[in-house]
Amino acid sequence: MLNFIDRLIAFFGRAAAWATGLLVVVIVIDVFLRFVFDLTAAWVVELEWHLFAFVFLLGAPYALQENRHVRVDLFYERFSKQEKGQVDFWGSLIFLIPWCLLLLFTGFTYAREAWMTGEGSPNPGGLPTFAPVKSLIPLAALLLLLQGIAMGVRAYQAWQETGADIPKDSV
């Protein structure tokens, strides 16, 4: 099951990477058209924000998997592998997993309302619907939750094994 979670998170991480490239292209074209021809559209700016949301939300679980997330480690770097396993296990259990559950619940409500009301851009010429991007919130929370569970399981295993190496996604 942990390998399935790893592959799923990596898939979405690659999608976020491709979306980053697409975002750069859209921004460059938008800036070029704006400064050279004085052309821009509300939907283009909103598309840039939606692509950024896609990158951020679906890249976060991948960043956690690859140990590229922000960590404040005044003491962590000096801990033994077992101590790191304890910190990662308890951190996942007490902080990450509850936060993901809260975000999943509230994000689902937020996305459902956007779908039900047909929420779209208030700007003339803006995107007709915001529901797909708002649906990324509970999806990201679910993926982060799965990664948090996988990280917690691996951290617990490392904590319990004498001298075991902690996999890269749980350090």
Q: Give the tens place of pLDDT for each residue, 32-68.
A: 999 999 998 999 999 999 999 999 999 999 999 998 8
pLDDT of residue 114: 97
Burial class (CB in 10 A: 0-12, 13-18, 19+), 75: exposed
DSSP 80-95: -HHHHHHHHHHHIIII
CB 88, CB 65: distance < 8 Å: no
**Of 4, 1, 6, 55, which is closest to residue 168 (Cα–Cα)?**
6
Residues 6+ apart with CB under 8 A from 12: 58, 61, 62, 143
pLDDT of residue 35: 95
Question: What's the mean per-residue pLDDT of the chain?
Answer: 91
pLDDT of residue 171: 47
**Of 110, 111, 98, 85, which is closest to residue 170 (Cα–Cα)?**
85
The shares of helix, strand and coil residues in the chain, as percent rounded to the nearest 5, are 80, 0, 20
Q: What is the mean pLDDT of residues 118-129?
A: 95
Residue 162 has pLDDT above 90, yes or no: no
- Region for 73 from its dihedrals, namely left if φ exceeds 0, alpha if ψ lies in -120 to 50, beta otherwise: beta
Where exactly are the structural domains of the chain?
Answer: 2-170
pLDDT band at 81 (very low <50, low <70, confident <90, very high): confident
